[in-house]
Amino acid sequence: MKKIAVLGTGSVGQTFATRLAGLGYEVMVGTRNVSEKLSTPGKDGAKNAFATWHESNLNIKLGTFAETAAFADIVLNTTKGLNSLDALKLATEKNLENKLLVDIANPLDFSKGMPPCLVPELSNTNSLAEEIQKTFPKTKVVKTLNTMWCGLMVDPSLIKGDHVNYICGNDETAKSTVKLLLNEFGWKNDNLIDLGDLSAARGTEAVLPVWLRIYGAKKSAAFNFNIVS
Amino acid sequence: MKKIAVLGTGSVGQTFATRLAGLGYEVMVGTRNVSEKLSTPGKDGAKNAFATWHESNLNIKLGTFAETAAFADIVLNTTKGLNSLDALKLATEKNLENKLLVDIANPLDFSKGMPPCLVPELSNTNSLAEEIQKTFPKTKVVKTLNTMWCGLMVDPSLIKGDHVNYICGNDETAKSTVKLLLNEFGWKNDNLIDLGDLSAARGTEAVLPVWLRIYGAKKSAAFNFNIVS
């Protein structure tokens, strides 16, 4: 059984884990502290959303960031962008060495009000993906899927017709592997726009500011961009 | 005859001026110094591109930034984003007072290599459009058309089917006037995405980094985004 690791327990992580398990992958989801994550009450004092999700997905393993990174050769980063570097450091450089890291996170900064801006030091002349690559030089980082609602990431057929997903990274073999995974989710190669090396993440992460404004105008996240010519 | 002012003599300014004259507008194009602009040789020592364009468009008036801003109640800013505030200051606050300023420029910084990044102090938690609005509080600034190749700005039918143009601004009447102008260019209202107040320009100006990467991948500027749902 093919193994895959998902770092992060939010709605994006849950969405990937459920979908990958449905595709026949052996999945482990990583978090800082498993028992604390499961036992922390939700906002209303009841079971939190992740614990509720976990009860319906007991076939999906849980582990610390380090255990999860050690578990598989393909690691998805679905943590909040502001926390991603810390989470990956907990996963450890050794556990990520020679691994393929698919970075789906966005460096959003909610501290200055809504809608969030990008973290200044992780945008414009830098990106979260590039910072991860610099911090873990022996890991092959591929950026993709970060420009849309998570439902579409794992099932593009939720919207009829063509719409696009960007992909970039410094390692061509790693990008090819990710494209095959994207095909399993339902992405057609014609709709995968390869933007070249990882510095293109400066562009794809910068889609978020306009995405958030369109979301605000449409009052729905179930949209995506198509490129027409 | 309806009058319109175009600040800037680059390919975007030329494109707007020609199209607007074709639509029956009386057009004036503004630059820092008209005679200097016309007489400066091009890169190959021959007549420069603007002077060549001007010879074929003698029905279009030329003036200083100030003369041009004074000429019409609708002023289009097609100057380079890095120079826009200086150009508008030369146009003068008085000449821009109570005017509608359509800002089409992008705050691109080419000093750090290609593709350009955004000017840090005019992006993320600010935008060129907002900075213009702050500098000229009695002018009604509307941001639109800055997310595509200039050919499409004035003739969206160059691409078959639907593709979108964002619009934002603080004054609803000013936005309505700009929408009518966009309709004259061929933009259907369904493809005009109103993103609300001018702070949405933080999102639309941030489209440029990914636009430039897609342009690099496609080797053609004749594309645009559509939103599908």
pLDDT over 90 at B154, yes or no: yes
One-letter amino acid of B7: L
Range B41-54 average pLDDT = 93
Q: Which of B161, B214, B164 is nearest to B194 (CA)?
A: B164
User: A27 to chain B nearest CA, in Å?
Assistant: 30
A interface with B, Cβ–Cβ below 8 Å = 112, 117-118, 120, 123-125, 159-163, 166, 168, 193-196, 200, 202-204, 206-207, 209-214, 216-218, 220, 222-229
**What pLDDT, on the 0 to 100 scale, is given for residue B6?**
98
Contact A187, A165 (CB under 8 A): yes
| Per-residue confidence band for B94, with pLDDT thresholds at 50, 70 and 90 | very high
* Crossing angle of helices B81-91 and B128-135, rounded to 10°: 20
Range B202-217 average pLDDT = 98
Closest-CA residue of B relative to A162 is B228
**pLDDT > 90 fraction of chain B, expressed in percent and rounded:** 97
Query: What is the C-alpha R_g of chain B?
Result: 17
C-alpha distances in Å from residue A33, one per residue of A27, A48, A59: 17, 14, 19
Return d(Cα B217, Cα B220) in angstroms, integer: 8
**What pLDDT, on the 0 to 100 scale, is given for residue A44?**
85
Q: Which of B101, B118, B104, B107 is nearest to B11 (CA)?
A: B104
pLDDT over 90 at B44, yes or no: no
**What pLDDT, on the 0 to 100 scale, is given for residue A1?**
79
What domains appear along chain B, each with residue ranges and CATH number? 3-218 (3.40.50.720)
pLDDT over 90 at B178, yes or no: yes
Contact A34, A63 (CB under 8 A): yes
Give chain A's length: 229
Mean pLDDT for chain B? 97
| Per-residue confidence band for B91, with pLDDT thresholds at 50, 70 and 90 | very high
**Are B227 and A228 an interchain contact pair (Cβ–Cβ within 8 Å)?**
no
User: B205 to chain A nearest CA, in Å?
Assistant: 9
| Per-residue confidence band for B3, with pLDDT thresholds at 50, 70 and 90 | very high
Angle at A223 between CA A211 and CA A149, to 5 degrees: 70
**Are A224 and B222 an interchain contact pair (Cβ–Cβ within 8 Å)?**
no
ipTM > 0.85, yes or no? yes
**Could you give the residue ranges of the DSSP H alpha helices within chain A?**
11-22, 34-39, 49-55, 65-71, 81-91, 93-96, 128-135, 150-154, 172-185, 201-205, 208-218
| Per-residue confidence band for B36, with pLDDT thresholds at 50, 70 and 90 | very high
Tell me the chain A residues in contact with residue B194 when contact means C-beta distances shorter than 8 Å: 217
Tell me the chain A residues in contact with residue B218 when contact means C-beta distances shorter than 8 Å: 229
Q: Strands A140-144 and A165-169, how do they pair?
A: antiparallel
Range B171-197 average pLDDT = 98
User: B12 to chain A nearest CA, in Å?
Assistant: 19
Which among A124, A211, A228 has the least Cβ separation from residue B118? Answer: A124
| Per-residue confidence band for B43, with pLDDT thresholds at 50, 70 and 90 | confident
| Per-residue confidence band for B19, with pLDDT thresholds at 50, 70 and 90 | very high
Residues (pLDDT < 70) of chain A are: none
Max distance between CA atoms of chain A, in angstroms, equals: 51
Q: Which of A128, A130, A143, A210 to mutate to test the interface with B (most CBs of B within 10 A)?
A: A210
Classify burial at A89, counting beta carbons within 10 Å of its beta carbon; exposed 0-12, middle 13-18, buried 19 or more: middle
User: B158 to chain A nearest CA, in Å?
Assistant: 9
**Are A225 and B229 an interchain contact pair (Cβ–Cβ within 8 Å)?**
no
> Dihedral through CA A53, CA A56, CA A60, CA A66, nearest 10?
30
Residue-wise pLDDT for A25-69, tens only, equals 999 999 999 999 999 999 888 999 999 999 999 999 999 999 999
Mean pLDDT for chain A? 97
One-letter amino acid of A177: T
| Per-residue confidence band for B85, with pLDDT thresholds at 50, 70 and 90 | very high
Which among B211, B222, B226 has the least Cβ separation from residue A226? Answer: B226
The pTM is what? 0.97
Residue-wise pLDDT for B123-148, tens only, equals 999 999 999 999 999 999 999 999 99
